């Protein structure tokens, strides 16, 4: 009886339902498997996920602007200053027809398109209404001497009673920055046109300075080759700037000059055969000398 009871109990236990297996899923960062409940807990401490989040945070975020109407968008852009448009170009990658990035380099960080005068700031940000001399006015506001004199005349009208001779003698005097600014805006027609004038004159000045510096270096190099070679090159307006080419020209110049001297002749800058030989190396020293001698007899 007892045995039959135990058999019935064993059979009953075998037929009881088994527990369902817990569902698992793999971590998308480290590929380790966890239960569905354990995944969120794991990812809070997962080293690879933390590293991925950190790298993603360092990336520059890109923004997408919802433009419902291009006409409205163009109207909005027309309200923005040149510096703001320049920044928007950098952010969006678009190109705006009215944007002039070159001008932004000369302006204050306040983004009001005001030229810098000191310490990277404009007159308004510096709360500065001091006085400027002509050199500062030329450098910061792109003024000419005539512009400065006219602005001085506007600020000191009583000087006109002395006559223009006295006004010219007064040209090294000072003038307030506000007067200079107002004068340039009125003369150019607008602030943006003033900035264009300022940038244009500054670019021309820098190019002229670079050319002058290059010419001075070239002149020093030529004088080092031969004291007379520099004046000869300038007289024939020879534009070659390569040092190796100039060295070769200098050697031909010295050799030809010496041969001509032996024949009692001087090297003339207006002699075409001499110039061709020195600058290009065509022909020979003897041939050029004979040509020059033949032309003088």
Q: Domain segments of the chain: what residues?
A: 239-296
Unique residue bearing structure tokens 């380099």? 105
- Angstrom CA distances, 104 to 34, 115, 140, 174, 199, stand at 56, 9, 14, 27, 10
Give the CA dihedral 130, 133, 135, 139, nearest 10 degrees: 30
pLDDT of residue 175 exceeding 60, the answer is yes
pLDDT of residue 33 exceeding 60, the answer is yes
Taking residues 109-129, report their average pLDDT: 85
Average pLDDT, the chain: 81
Taking residues 36-47, report their average pLDDT: 85
pLDDT of residue 69 exceeding 50, the answer is yes
Q: How far apart are the first and last CA of the chain?
A: 156
């Amino acid at each position: 009886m007892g045995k039959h009871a135990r058999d019935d109990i064993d059979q009953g236990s075998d037929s009881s339902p088994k527990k369902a297996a817990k569902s698992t899923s793999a971590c998308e960062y480290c590929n380790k498997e966890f239960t569905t409940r354990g995944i969120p807990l794991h990812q809070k401490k997962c080293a690879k996920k933390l590293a991925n989040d950190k790298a993603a945070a360092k990336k520059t975020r890109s923004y997408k602007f919802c433009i419902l109407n291009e006409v409205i968008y163009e109207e909005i852009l027309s309200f923005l200053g040149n510096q703001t448009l320049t920044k928007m170009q950098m952010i969006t990658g678009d190109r705006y027809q009215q944007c002039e990035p070159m001008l932004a380099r000369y302006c204050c960080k306040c983004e009001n398109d005001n030229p810098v005068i000191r310490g990277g700031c404009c007159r308004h940000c510096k709360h500065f209404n001091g006085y400027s001399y002509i050199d500062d006015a030329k450098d910061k506001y792109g003024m000419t001497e005539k512009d400065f004199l006219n602005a001085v005349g506007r600020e000191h009208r009583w000087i006109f009673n002395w006559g223009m001779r006295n006004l010219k003698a007064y040209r090294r005097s000072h003038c307030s920055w506000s007067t200079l600014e107002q004068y340039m805006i009125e003369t150019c027609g607008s602030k943006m046109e003033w900035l264009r004038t300022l940038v244009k004159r500054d670019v021309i000045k820098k190019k002229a300075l670079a050319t002058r510096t290059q010419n001075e270096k070239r002149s020093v190099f030529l004088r080092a080759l031969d004291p007379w070679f520099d004046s000869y090159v300038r007289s024939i307006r020879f534009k070659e700037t390569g040092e190796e080419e100039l060295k070769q020209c200098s050697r031909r110049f010295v050799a030809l000059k010496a041969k001509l001297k032996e024949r009692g002749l001087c090297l003339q800058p207006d002699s075409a055969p001499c110039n061709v030989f020195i600058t290009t190396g065509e022909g020979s020293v003897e041939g050029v000398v004979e040509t020059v001698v033949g032309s003088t007899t």
